[in-house]
A and B are shown apart, each in its own frame.
Chain A
Amino acid sequence: MWQRFTLDDVRTIGHYLGVLILFLAASMAVPFVVALAFQEWKPATHYLLAIGISLILGSGLRLLRVAPARLSRRQALAVTGFAWIVLAFIAAIPLYMSGHFNRFVDALFEGVSGLTTTGASLVVDLDHMSMADNTWRFMMILLGGLGLIVVALALGLFGKRSGASLYSSEGRSDHLVPNVVQTTQFIAKFALLFILAATVILTVVLTFAGIEPVRAAFHSVCLSISAFMTGGFTPMAQSVLYYHSFPLEFILMLLMLAGSISFTLHAELRKGRIGAFFRDIEVRTLVIWLAVATCVMAASLSVSLSFNDLPTMLRRGVFMVISSFSTTGFQNITTNQLAGVFSSGAFIALAVCMAVGGSAGSTTGGLKLLRMGIMAKSIVSTIKEAVAPDSARVAVTYYRLGRRRVTPDIVKEAMTVFVLYVSTYTIGALVGIAHGYDAMQAIFESVAMASNGGIVSGLVAPDMPITLELFYIFEMWAGRLEFVTLLAILVEVVVSIVPRRLRHRTQAQGVRR
């Protein structure tokens, strides 16, 4: 039976969303301090006002329920699901005040794109944006990449008891250590270490490239966060192309690869279990998949008129494959080259890479390699069963922190999410086509949104139709939550709004949960 939200539910959910908004207000202190440090007084006033507004909203929501009980699973789902859109809304306030967005929805798009680590951007004139506003864009990537809930849990914002149900509702539900708060702290520490190391190296590279040290350091922090969190924002409008630096691109590729491998596996590697790492189903799928994608890309580019000499192909092609498969969204070719000069085969290969995505339990979006691997195993199992004698029992296994059997439940989950992703890609493509865009580009853009990939071929632009923009916001949101959480709350919201009598009739017809 579908359950409707009671007033008590709404108050509790409101309370916890309020906590998250207060947390966002606190993190706005970072761009505020940056603004003061670089004497960007106008942005400083914007961030102070935004902090004030979020404090009022957050505290106000918390007053809905002064002493909330422990979150139930349903409530946790709702908090997680709404958090992304509510926080994006708050995050959009200072962005909109910056004057770099044509309308508020564009700033909201930027907020959703940042928090879901999609990386598509609607900033107008990014090259003249203040350091403070840029800092805020990368703060969003950092918070969203780690997982809003993960960060809040690591800081102990929800208390000890509500943790478990919240954590598992955020989509990336690998448990590294039994205690949820410890797990989240491990992830946060680990990611920050990686980002710090990369920042130091990139600062050296960029200083050698001729950028003054303070700016070089700033760009390095931004790029490191964006690469490891597989976000895709860049501080300059020309994306990674801006730097004209192969060493930089190489380091970013390593970071993106590291970011697209599950945190669980990172933990295994750190414990020295190299065997477990290479036997893992996702690492194997990743190696096979990357090899296939690169070959397809190379084959398609080598018969095209440009990008067909080897150094060019390696530098542009491999970077774009890694950027798309890790759903980062960096570009070291221009959007014009992507849509107009790249062969259509290479174009589609990138879209497929984004659609599949990286490892489950990492910051990548898309379907995830684990699900692809399991579905492949399921196909193998079906064939085995077909050819095996009647008496034989077929067991197909995969390796993930130990050998596991491919059970119908696991396959069902993988298939369900697969179908949901593919239908969203398709519907999004149709929405784009209905707005009069080129079909190939519409498909590409829809995949880039729902997979949180963020490489754009031209549809996402400051003057795009608002209906398309709203649909893309929905796609990013749905993709980040891997659908199940989102569909669950949508159903509950609908059920809560539809009058009771109607619902009784459906219940009488025997609709059961």
Chain B
Amino acid sequence: MSRAGRIARRTFLVGAAAVAGGLAVGYYFYRKPFPNPLEDGLAEGEATFNPYVKIGSDDRVTVIVPRAEMGQGVATTLAALVAEELDVELDAIVVEHGPPASAYANVTMIKDGLPFPVFDESTLANLARDGVGVVGKFLAIQGTGGSTSTTDAFERMRQAGATAREMLKSAAAEKLGVAAGTLRTEAGRVVDPASERSLSYGELALDASALRPPSDAALRPRSDWRLLGRSQPRTDMHAKVTGAPIFGVDVSLPDMLFATVRMSPRRGARMVSIDAAEAEKLPGVVKIVPLRTYLGEGYGVIAKSTWHAFRAADAVEAEWGEAPFPPDDAGIWSELQRAMETDAGTALRNDGDVDTALADAPRERVVEAEYRVPFLAHATMEPMNATARFADGVLDIWAPNQAPTLLRTVCAREAGIEEAACNVHVTYLGGGFGRRLEADYAVFATRLAMEAGGAPVKVIWTREEDITHDMYRPAAIGRFTARLGENGLPEALDMKIAAPSIMASVMPRFYPALSALGPDATVVDGSYNQPYRIPNYRVAAVKAPLPLPVGFWRSVGNSYNGYFHECFMDEIAHSSATDPIELRRRLMTDFPTALGAIEKVADMARWGDPLPDRRARGFAFTLSFGSWVAEIVEIADTPEGIRIEKVWIAADVGTALDPSIVEAQLFSGAIYGLSAAMNQEITFADGMVEQSNFHDFDAMRIHQCPQFEVAILENAGRMGGAGEIGTPPAVAALANAVFALTGKRVRQLPLSREVAFA
């Protein structure tokens, strides 16, 4: 067992006890399966087999995909899991999100929050993972995040399809008077090959659903898959090319009012005064409502249209108090710096004896560097929004959201009602990237609905409100030291990273009475758990006490640790005059999956071949969310600035259930990372965010978009995620390419601080 494991376990136990609030008492409760939430909402003639499958007597098969569709294709892939086992075609089923319910808890998401590298297969790591499975179910968080949806659903939803299939066969066997074992299923029918008689699922559904579910329905072996492992047409594509009203902003209800909010531009500051007299006189205004909530203060404007609300909100005069954090970047960085210097942090990886190895290192063998990354906004294409109606003691919320059970908890609490009186309707998401795990926009909508006399209120934020009121990707500082051995390989690597803790920031937004104890693995995620063997290897996390709202941003800690770790590796390679890929070959000999991805990408790009003038390449590798990803970025020096010409990605995801969707996620993730690496930063002045819209917080445009070549590998033993894994290595590979092209080692993002992009 590694030392990292021992340290982590102790702190984990403290954290788990706090989170679970009495694990032992809850044990029996967890064992009982959750009730099937579909039982309450069945239509005439409709039957439900389990929380994932409904079949109507009209043969309509509905599959519940209780995860947020935010572009990552989860609706298609998870529906295919059920369809595969149930023997129905994907275009013959209806996919619904379903109600928020404990039955849909995402256990994998919580498991992956544990401080163990994925390759740590020690008993301890597995035990803890199983233990947290209990915690996850106990808390019953239905979340879409951490690239866990597919992994989490892989067994469960195939099982749901297989169980329903077997029940349908049993019902048919009874009707046909033959043994169930002789029957087949295909295209929504149970067939008796001997007599060539068949019955449709619709004819069998009511009887079948009354049967006892078998506990041993066999899952199809991979060799028999018809749908899985092959690219499927996405179930949401038609709606998305025809402009169908599927998003949160598109919710339309009778007598609906429109609204917007303006919360304190200094996050966490009080609203000292508000003067709405002029604004109230503007046409179209229904009501201006001061908002004082546990998530911040400000005001909302209810109006006859969104535009009327925006205009009146501009006309309100309000004064704001001081921000509870240093008001500008200089102060924020020095706070981070101080945390770095005064706090020893928690070593989440600690192999060998780093202190001794570094103590007597000869000067010329030491490589040292300090890196920084800025705060970042998510800037989902669809601005934050939610629609709420509070009538007769019942609260209904329509929202594009990644964690509906949490959303229900906070909104019901805000309205002072039982959760049972709060219905959450999840729409399609115009982008999530982690921002929509939060529920702030729904809490504000709840408050406005409580002032609207029972009318539904659709609350849409301006882009300016969205950029200035995000839960940002944390800024971070990393300080790194390496000692090189005679052979040029690092003998010791010491990494210390300080950042505001995401867990400490997120937790009180949902459970104000709870605090996140113990270390926060997200601070070093992507640095402490990489598949390198270095004899003395320490990675310490410092939780910087900065009360700025930070949150999950596509690939979370990996988004900057990929940059830290892999750019510093590039520095090590450069210092020892070793080719960067060769360095990895030598340090990753114990990890064939990593090597496989690296060799593949090197092959694809013909790494090592001479390049034309004014071109250069960078390489990086990051293991994140259980997937092993190597990327090469090629850039060119042009008169307009640096152009990103081409990106090669080789990703080992273990099992790729839908290659087209995985490919799309890989280049999507890379573009998201490249956008940030090139130009994005959120900065502060006078306690307020300085950026406000796409003119000063832009992202990659089509003319900046490189060509992509993607290879999907399936050698890893476990299935990994896909939605976030393209992001971390893209950032580092671009920075390394910039070094190769210009000789500038840019140690603070965005790269545009030091070089210009075309």
- Tell me whether A and B are bound partners: no
Chain B positions near chain A (C-beta within 8 angstroms): none
Chain A positions near chain B (C-beta within 8 angstroms): none
